[in-house]
């Protein structure tokens, strides 16, 4: 991925090889690629990350790589399973490991759940990003269950549209943030 202010990093947090949220991540990646937006999909299933806080966890080579990828992102999309009315532990772990790389970035969520009732699940994660790192949470949110997919496992039209809208919003906000960093009055307030 070329590092530019409008680049988008998609963190796919499911470790399940038949993941639905990974399909959301891939759809967002396709949308952005088709529009020549620099995008990198990071599949946590391909990274053997340590648990945050263990001895040497922050020095692990994969953590250093991922921190660099997140630091260079203009916006971050988190695709995650819903586990116990929250994102999964892998999502929380990667956020803890890469920490300040998230600072002042737009962040959006693509979630797969077993049922319709857990749609508030990313709120705790979103709150911590706002409080810890002053992230701007994109006020669009993709939440799906198995019923949002076709029998052959493709995204249904409604959820596909929502993924596209979220991906587009991530790029727009990344560009807006880049403009503000270059032209805004923020530096005078620091
Ligand atoms: C440990 C565990 C906890 C879960 N908790 C919830 C839950 O709180 N709410 C819900 O709707 N689905 C829950 N599910 C179902 C998953 O969200 C669902 O299988 C989803 O497809 C997982 O995402 P993935 O396919 O991307 O891995 C849970 C599944 C597991 C394995």
Q: What is the pLDDT of residues 13-49, one digit of tens each?
A: 999 999 999 999 999 999 999 999 999 999 999 999 9
Residue 42 within any structural domain of the chain? yes
User: Ligand 1: which residue has its CA nearest to atom 3?
Assistant: 83
- 152 contacts: CB under 8 Å, gap ≥ 6: none
Q: What's the pLDDT band for 2 if we cut at 50, 70, 90?
A: very low
Q: What is the pLDDT of residue 4?
A: 57
Tokens of 45: 């299933």
Q: Is 2 domain-assigned?
A: no
Answer yes or no: is 1 within a domain: no
The pLDDT score that the predictor gives to residue 3 is 46
At 92, which CATH number?
Answer: 3.40.50.360
Q: How many domains does the chain have?
A: 1
| 188 in a structural domain | no
Ligand 1 shell residues, CB under 6 Å: 14, 16, 19-22, 81-85, 112-115, 118
pLDDT score at 186? 73
Average pLDDT over residues 64-88: 97
Which pTM does this prediction carry?
0.96
The boundaries of the domain holding residue 61 are: 8-183
> Is residue 3 in some structural domain?
no
Q: Residue 97: what pLDDT? A: 97
Q: How far is CA 187 from CA 73, 130, 182, 190, in A?
A: 20, 20, 10, 5
Residue 80 scores a pLDDT above 70: yes
Ligand 1 atom with minimal separation from the 15 CA: 27
pLDDT digits (tens, 9 = 90+) for 152-187: 999 999 999 999 999 999 999 999 999 998 998 876
How far away, in angstroms, is 12 Cα from ligand 1 center? 14
């Amino acid at each position: 991925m070329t590092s530019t202010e409008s680049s988008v990093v998609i963190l796919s947090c499911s470790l399940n090889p038949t993941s639905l949220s990974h399909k959301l991540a891939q759809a967002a990646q396709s949308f952005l690629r088709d529009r020549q937006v620099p995008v990198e999909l990071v599949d946590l299933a391909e990274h053997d990350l340590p648990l945050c806080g263990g001895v040497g966890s922050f020095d692990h080579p994969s953590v250093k790589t991922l921190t660099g990828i997140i630091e260079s992102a203009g916006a971050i999309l988190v695709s995650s399973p819903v586990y116990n009315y929250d994102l999964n532990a892998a999502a929380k772990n990667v956020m803890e490991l890469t920490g300040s790389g998230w600072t002042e970035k737009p962040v959006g969520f693509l979630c797969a759940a077993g049922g319709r009732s857990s749609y508030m699940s990313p709120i705790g994660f979103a709150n911590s990003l706002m409080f810890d790192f002053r992230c701007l949470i994109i006020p669009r949110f993709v939440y799906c269950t198995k019923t949002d997919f076709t029998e052959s496992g493709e995204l249904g039209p409604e959820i596909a549209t929502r993924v596209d809208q979220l991906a587009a919003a991530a790029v727009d906000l990344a560009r807006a943030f880049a403009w503000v960093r270059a032209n805004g009055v923020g530096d005078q307030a620091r």
